[in-house]
Amino acid sequence: MNKSYVYEEVFCCKDGMLDEGSPRENTRLDAFEVAGALTTDEIVTGLKGSWGIRPYTQLYIPAYPSECGTGDVASNFRFKEDKELNNIVSKNWMGILREYKEVTKNPVIITAVHRNDRLRSIKMNPDGSVIMIDKKTREEVPYESKLFTDFLLKYNIKGDDLMKIRESSIGSNYYSYLSDMISFLIMVNSKFSPDMFTIKKLMFEEIRPTDLDSEGNKRLNRVIKADGSEWTPIEGHNYLYFKEYSGSDEGGDTNDFLFIKKEYIDSIYDQLWELISTEESKTKELVRRFFSKVTMYLRWSDYWVNDVDDAFTILSIINCYNYSELTDEEQILKEKFTKIAERVFG
């Protein structure tokens, strides 16, 4: 599959009214989902131009923030294979977070769940089959395997196609946590269920392996994790780290960040099964309702770069418009996402 970083704009609300009787300027929401490493300066430069962050923009980040001293940063915050590109990614994230705080008072919504809280993964086999694995038992969940297989078959993805697609996840031994699909659902829920989220003020800063603390010690050091694995910072690479702001910390920028509460993660996975099912569901209705409240859906995607989940997320959005009678506006929106899918899977 052709790896690509793509910035996409999907205009969602043709009549300019998000709620009956409410003018757009009072209720407008642009949903900006940054679902990949920021490998180009153009996206940050564009934030100050004709598109990007506005006072009514809501920023969603499907990457979990790491604290200095815990090891590597999330894959969306780095580019491990190339020092120059890695540092561009880190710099761009600092730029986008600073621009967001300057322009809007909205919190940043973290739509990722911590690695330890992920409940399922899919395994893409060399024979073109897919099975769903329970993270705790490490065993297949047959019903969910069939559900996901039927979802792919709905879009004619099978056999040889999947054998090509799976190569995007070779670095994870052909497994995927479907993280972007989970993050998409968390994004949707954040619009309608604020009680599912907790707020934290975080300080974010770019740290280099040569940086020293106040006592002259290196801030970045080798980390031995609980499972015995080891992480060592790469010389010349910059790293974006976050920490809860104590009120007296110095040296970094701060903003408010929303996280989904742990007690709601199970329900997000329940929604995932409804999202990919081949019948109408409350989750599909919720997704359509979300887009009816959004003027623009902006997405920075990394299709086929390290995983398959960006592409499958687009299919899951289309899936929400296949089992109910659609309004003219919903039909237009379905066609827009279908064109994206045709390009991605083409």
Residues 329, 320: contact at Cβ < 8 Å? no
Q: So what's the pLDDT on residue 226?
A: 79
29 or 71, greater pLDDT: 71
User: Any idea where the domains of the chain sit in the sequence?
Assistant: 4-116+179-345, 120-172
Q: So what's the pLDDT on residue 250?
A: 74
Share of residues in the chain with pLDDT > 70 (%)? 93
Tens digits of residue pLDDT in 288-325: 999 999 998 999 999 999 899 999 999 999 999 999 99
- DSSP, collapsed to helix, strand or coil, labels residue 49 as coil
Tens digits of residue pLDDT in 63-94: 999 999 999 999 999 999 999 999 999 999 99
The side-by-side arrangement of strands in the sheet containing 120-124 is 130-134, 120-124, 175-176
- pLDDT grade, residue 130 (50/70/90)? very high
Assess whether pLDDT exceeds 80 at residue 44. no
Q: So what's the pLDDT on residue 52?
A: 65
Tens digits of residue pLDDT in 182-237: 999 999 999 999 999 999 999 999 999 999 988 999 999 999 987 888 999 999 99
Strands of the chain, DSSP E: 4-11, 17-19, 22-23, 30-35, 57-61, 108-110, 120-124, 130-134, 175-176, 197-207, 223-224, 230-231, 239-244, 253-260, 296-303
Residues 212, 155: contact at Cβ < 8 Å? no
Share of residues in the chain with pLDDT > 90 (%)? 80
Residues 302, 37: contact at Cβ < 8 Å? yes
130 or 46, greater pLDDT: 130
**Of 27-41, 265-279, 327-341, minimum mean pLDDT range:** 27-41
Tens digits of residue pLDDT in 253-283: 999 999 999 999 999 999 999 999 999 999 9
CA atoms lying within 13 Å on the CB side of residue 341:
19
